[in-house]
Structure 1
Amino acid sequence: MVSTYLSYLSVANNLNKSLSAVASKGAVASDTTYYKENIGKVTTVDEFMDDYRLYSYAMKAYGLEDMTYAKAFMKKVLESDLSDSSSFANTLSDDRYSQFASAFKFVGEDATAQTSVQQSSLLAEYESSFDEESDSITEATDYYDSSINDVTSVDDLLGSTKLRNYVLEAFGLSTDYTSTSFLRDVLTSDVDDPDSYVNQLGDDAYVNLAKAFNFNTDGSVSDPLQSDDQKSLVESMYAISSSTFASSSVGESYTTYFQERIGSITSVDQLMADDKLVTYLRTAYGLADSDPDNYISASLKSSSLATAIGLGDLHDAFNFDSDGALADGTTAQTSDQTTATTTAFTDNYNVSDVDTWIEASVANYQTRLASVTSIEDFLTSNADDDDDSNDDDAELWQMAARSFGIGSSEITKSQFRKILESDPSDPNSYVNQLNDDRFTALRDAYNFGSDGKTSVPLLAMSQSVIDDFVADYKQNKIRHLSGTDKTEASTAADTEMSYFATQMATLKTASDVLADDRLVNLMLEAKGIDPADVTDTELKKMFASDPDDPDSYVNGLSDNRFAEIVGSFNFDTEGNLSSDAEGTVQQRGDVIETVNNYVRQTLESDQGDSNTGVRLALYFERMAPSVSSAYDILGDDALFEFFTTSFGLSSYVSNMDVEKQAEMVTNFIDLDDLSDPDKVTDLIKRFTAMYDTSNGTTTSSAATILSGSSTTISADTLLAVAQLKSG
């Protein structure tokens, strides 16, 4: 008869062909089709276990066929939270149970407004925005200061986008809708001529703009274009207009502006029309946010009213008559009054401890966001909801807008709602119609469904699948190591795992993933594949093929692990994110892996019907790379049979002390060799030779070893192994 080794080779050397032959068999093909078509319809553990065809198929796929009857036990396995080391599946000594649980997502993934990666990224941008704002103001002002006096005509100024926008922003004018011709007419007006263009507009803002420059009516320049005072005024106005938080430099800019402008004020109405002056006085004289502006105008006109509302100092600092005008020869303030006002402003201007304020705002954001379950929650959850909160904390949506460089004047709360409600995959959705990358990035930073509720984030790889990959990667990296080597390998693996998880939460296309060698290496090594054995071109072809199509490129490869990898990503064949790939209780990659496992288990079972030695050899070949310790062999009937047969050992060794048995295993087998295919082949040659010597070429009396009906390991040994593995 044909030797066991040759029988094994006939299968192993044509493994893909052998697996395809098994997969095409009537019963196998029918059961596989049923599984693929129906597993996506399951939503609960009970539904899954009540469908015997689905349940038994999966149990066989993960080598648990003999436990199919134990539904209560298996339900506890499937409901285990694998992120909790004390969960039921994780406390079992047999890794097959945790592997089975990881193939299904009955625990479910959390719907959340933001993942930790999305939140960290947004808050990092928020924190850096303050320094960026200050740097931007300084850079723009330095450019203006060094360039403005080189302007020789009004067209030079208006022709320079940077200078033009600087001036417009300083005066609070739109950079998008203020026409060049209009500005030319304003800037070349004679401000001393009551009939000039700018004076006919009846708006002090444009008059002040014209006064800030010395253009002639023909657009030429009366040297200099700006005096030092005029330049200082514009630069102060820019700092005030562009700043969103209190700082010493902004306070100085306010004071400069006040000192430059107050001398030209001739009435209370003129003063009240200037929001910067009003803001200055509110700060200097301690008006609360709830106090109306007319407190100021009334106090400037009436001493008795000012005294009654506690603003007598404000009235005394100005010289307006009761009608709000100035007597002939009188200025709004004397120099002493101006000094008194600026001193009051300096005393009351609360310069922010920016770092402390940012820290408080970030903490508020994190606390509030944790309870957000809808867009409505997000837009209404702010510091005012909690008496213990800092009333100065920004609202969540305002912080989010700032993080993406969106100014407070660019978006309303209503618009923000419409952005979050938008479908980012729909080119006609509100956010995509805005055609602004900032708003698109803002939408991508949150996970809300069309119903306005939080949803499970659509990532390149679902979080539970990420967890599976990084766990397998680390296990492969530290297998067979000990001491310092294990510690160093574990630390290095943790670094790569953290990088992988972070990047997978941000990348949007297959091209993004494949362009990053660190990501590619981890996903391949997690599946036990050497990255050096795969080219970039091959990977691109794999990700461009459909893992659900049996005739696709990736499914035509001899190694079915590649299809499992491609199927683990939520990409379509164009390489873009697609919710269609996610699956329900079982992700697409897990479905592929389950089917592959089922076919492999069936192949081994079929071979065992003819020769148990072939089945054991195929089983050992499959399991060898995952063996981490001698206890993995001692706790597995089939591996134990392989070991004792290979080295001619009596089954009575199972009655020895378990630690002695483990020592014996490592004396016979260098566990590191189990990661080397050539060394595994050598062991299989030894096993098959010894098997044939012991059994001839006939079926072993242990023919049912893998079905669980034969016991070669003592109960004491199994208990000891279980305690060692879980301890």
Structure 2
Amino acid sequence: MTFSPTTLGTGIAGYNFLLRTRATQQAALANSPQVARDTEHFREKLKDIQTSDQLMEDRAMLRVALGAFGLEDDLDNKAFIKKILDSDLADSKSLANRLADKRYLAFAKAFNFAGESGPQLPDGKSAEDVTRDLAAIRTADDLLGNTSLLRATLKTFDLEGDIGNTFFLKKVLESDPTDPASFARRLADPRYAELAEAFDLSDKVKDRNTVYGFASVFADAAATLETPEDLLEDETLLTEALRVFGLENDVYRPDFLDSVLRSNLNDSTSFANQLEDKRYAALAGVFDFHEMAQAALAEEPFTSTLQSFVTTLNARSEPVTTSNDFFSDIKLMLETYKFFGLPSRSNQAGYVNRILNSDRSDPAAMIHGVTDGRYLALADAFRIEEPNTDRIYPPEFADQVVTNYLDRQFEISIGESDESMRVALSMERDLGKVIGNAKGNDSRWYGVMASNLLREVFETVFQLPDSFGTLDVDRQLKELKHRSESYFGTSALEDFTDPDRMEDLRRRYLMQSNLQSSATSSSASIVLSLLSRG
């Protein structure tokens, strides 16, 4: 069954009725068979749309995408829409940038097939920005502390009602989605397990053997460790130190570790240097307890390898995610080599690069043939993975497009019975976009003239004749500004962002439109009466 809106009266009374019932009526529209199928299809298939061709080939996807920007009439104008989607938005001469109707530019910007930053939300936040925000989420607290990102995330999973329940959400986020006995998996609502899986924070908690977990734990403690006892007596610090080198099992060998940590690495016969596994010498070198003691006796300042490494790593604004990130940061690269006790040699970078980029799923990969545990520890610590080259849509992208689509479809349905109501419902949004897209007041008025809907609003309110549009544009600009000043006390379009002034504009439009409609109906009645007398 198709959706049919309910209207009650015309003018201001009819508009107020629509405002009161819009939520209920629009929900009915969203649940109507065709609209429900299209919007659900859009949400499910969006992630698979990697090219403009794929969007063009899926009529249902394209119908929702175009409808969200008020461009539903172009559904069959595929060649033109393809050119819009493939426009280079950095080129002012590209088709999307040259069109007076800025809906096409907004459409092209949203999907941004030609740009490197990928899709972006109407607020201008790109997928690259959102991905960066998401990449920074290493713990549940990181997400819970980012209110806007948390709200967007919960909305994606239809869990907005939980935004204030931080204790509960933390338990969900730290759940292991692969473990049937975990907190999220034991909840009856599967959306919580899906939320936990999306962030996989349980895995990130387990990743404390990475340099980031290590640096986080040692950030405040690095400068306080002066003797092997200081480390051995702190279970947390000792565990993290052993983990980063893959030596967790040695936590139960305190005497052995004490001998390792006291070793003088400048002496080839020292305990750590005599061990076959070179990771122990590297561990001793990180804390430099022997060198530190010597410096203390000489009353000389001393900075340990641990302090230098932690400071350098924490100074980065973003984590290392590619081998290029690692090698382009020369200071971090050298500090890392020193941290893991790796020798300096001319081909070191090339050798490490091949290890970092090894495909661990390939049994023949180089990393599986490395016998020196220090290189394996480095590779595990940074966990370089093949970058995802797929287009990534921001979490709110599908929801915003669908919401915009439903808004416009509702307005179209209303317009089929009363066009003035459709205009009244959308005028605030359209005027807001004109104001936002242009900087100067004159440019904004030209935007009004270029918009059929907004031109209709102001020409109706100002009681301008149909022939007004045939005047020279500069004359039109002057007259519109003059009448705006006369009617509203301002010629600055930006002032219409004030709710009271916007409401005044809408009220005047509805009243004048209703008067014109009544006059037209009266004239038609008179004509019919005269004809019937004949």
Question: Normalised by the size of structure 1, how large is the TM-score?
Answer: 0.38
Task: Kindly name which structure, 1 or 2, has the bigger radius of gyration based on alpha carbons.
Answer: 1
User: Could you state the TM-score of these two structures normalised by the residue count of structure 2?
Assistant: 0.50
Bigger helix share: 2
